[in-house]
Amino acid sequence: MNVFGIDFGTTNSAAVALIGGLPVKIGHGDRPFPSIVAIHKVTGRVVARGFEAWQQRESLRETCEVITSPKSYLGSNHVWKIGGHDWLPLDIAAEVFKGLADKIEPVAGTVTEATVSIPVGFAPAKRRELRRAAMKAGIKISSFVSEPTAALLKNHDKVKMWTKIAVLDWGGGTLDISVVELMGKEVRELSAVGIPLGGDNLDAKIAEWAHNHHLKTAQAGVPFHEIDVKSRDRLLAKAEDAKRQLGNCEVTDIMLPSYGGMGNLKVKLTLDTMKSLLSPEIETVLDGLKQAVNSEAKMSFDELGCVLMVGGSSKLASLYERIVDLVSCEVIAPSPEADWEVAQGAAMLDHLQGAHVNNDNIGIELCDGSFFPIISKGTEVEHVSNSLNFGIVEDTQSACFNFYKAPGNAPLAFSGSSRRRVGSLVIPTNGFVNEAINVEYTIDPDLFLKVSARSDHKGQSATRSWEYDQLLFTYHLPLEGHQ
């Protein structure tokens, strides 16, 4: 039976099918499937998806709403009112899944189940919407996997001579960095940092710069944020082209005829200008790497075997050099296979279909300093579920639970600075000594920790919950021949 991995990306989505154990890439020909949907403004029909929508986006905008980056809207209240219908982010995401399923069908048959990759710290609400979006396209998400971990699994052969590896996946919408440890056939996530910064933000910055530059010579004009949507989208597309071109040359022109009623836009962008324009974002990437390695995994850069760079934005001119300057280990630049790596890692996991093993130690501390471990490393996710009963010891109107986790490979200490607070939950109480508080916790099938507390006294009950979406896991690698 074929198994599938899907990388539902902000800019590009991709699928990999394992057919007879061998990976087959599915997108648009040899390119991934752009996460773009064009919907007719009057009829509300989906006119184009993926590559067709991307290629014809300028002309399609006459008759259609062309929606890009739907992933970044998941979990929000955004609504597109098109052709008399309300389109929610999950409806648009479902169209991307449908487009991908149509591409998969002739190559690998109907896709009914797949493992889907998600960014680090993808909120539970976003996971639920992604699951529903896939379901609307007939695809049951068998499991989620973190995007950098999926990329690591795909590249295991390339990096297996090292023990500790930082994976830096910088895409169109998010920057995801994980530190993983390889122990024989085990891959252990030691830390994960997710930052909502991607190529879309860089394009916006370049577009605004070009707009302001043009304003200096235009007869009249409006500020960038007041420009009409169509002109802004056209300029964003040109900014993206320029950003890519400056990977291979020193200077490029951003040109747009009849730009928003402000004449023809023609602005020269040099590599040096782009580097200084985007230097705050590059600093954010370097800070994210320091956070993942030093603060979260509690390691020095000397302990790192390599940094594996994946994702389209990792190709940004000058990022590689900046990372080489920062670390003392090998740095692997994005490969030509970059568009497929995450989907292929997800497909490898789909093939495994084994239990997820937790790689976190998390515990609860009460206001009086007493400490209760709740989840520990090596436990199968299915077995993390429990109910604890507490009683308050003094006349108080609230009870507070603080959640701590151990960094990197450290055991969870009952006290001390090595543990880190990751959240808290405060529940109102009724001020009676010995008042009972019940705390239940479980790991949801969408792979986040769900804790709910309930206080109850003489019919006056209150419930509060806390969700933690940055759990770390351990994976056992697939058999040889499935990579």
Residue 316: contacted member of Mg ion, ligand ATP, none (CB under 5 to 8 Å, by partner type): ligand ATP
What beta strand segments (E) does 196-272 contain?
251-256, 265-270
* 3-state DSSP assignment of residue 61: coil
Which positions from 183 to 222 touch Mg ion by CB under 5 A, shown as an x/- string? ----------------------------------------
The single residue among 2, 5, 8, 9 that binds Mg ion, judged by CB under 5 A, is 9
Please report how close the Cβ of residue 11 comes to ligand ATP at its closest, in angstroms: 3
Q: Are 52 and 91 in contact (CB under 8 A)?
A: no
What are the start-end ranges of the H helices in 327-466?
Answer: 338-352
Nearest partner of 190 among 207, 167, 213, judged by Cα: 167
Residue 247: contacted member of ligand ATP, Mg ion, none (CB under 5 to 8 Å, by partner type): ligand ATP
Please report how close the Cβ of residue 210 comes to ligand ATP at its closest, in angstroms: 15
Nearer to ligand ATP, 50 or 173 (CB): 173
Name the DSSP letter for residue 215.
H
Nearer to ligand ATP, 189 or 240 (CB): 240
Please report how close the Cβ of residue 342 comes to Mg ion at its closest, in angstroms: 6
- Separation CA 181–CA 339 (nearest Å): 24
Q: Pull the structure tokens for residue 44.
A: 């509300």
- Separation CA 31–CA 259 (nearest Å): 30
* 3-state DSSP assignment of residue 107: helix
Please report how close the Cβ of residue 376 comes to ligand ATP at its closest, in angstroms: 31
Nearest partner of 173 among 130, 202, 138, 142, judged by Cα: 202
Name the DSSP letter for residue 329.
S
Please report how close the Cβ of residue 45 comes to ligand ATP at its closest, in angstroms: 25
Only segment of 97-105, 170-178, 256-264, 408-416 that touches Mg ion (CB under 5 A): 170-178
* 3-state DSSP assignment of residue 385: strand
Residue type, 181: E
Q: Catalog residues that contact ligand ATP under the rule CB under 6 A.
A: 9-12, 71, 147, 171-174, 198-200, 240, 243-244, 247, 311-313, 315-316, 339
Q: Are 47 and 64 in contact (CB under 8 A)?
A: yes
Only segment of 3-11, 94-102, 122-130, 326-334 that touches Mg ion (CB under 5 A): 3-11
Nearer to Mg ion, 73 or 404 (CB): 73
Residue type, 323: I
Residue 281: contacted member of ligand ATP, Mg ion, none (CB under 5 to 8 Å, by partner type): none
Please report how close the Cβ of residue 119 comes to ligand ATP at its closest, in angstroms: 6
The single residue among 50, 70, 171, 194 that binds Mg ion, judged by CB under 5 A, is 171
Instruction: Give me the residues that bind Mg ion (CB under 5 A), please.
Output: 9, 171
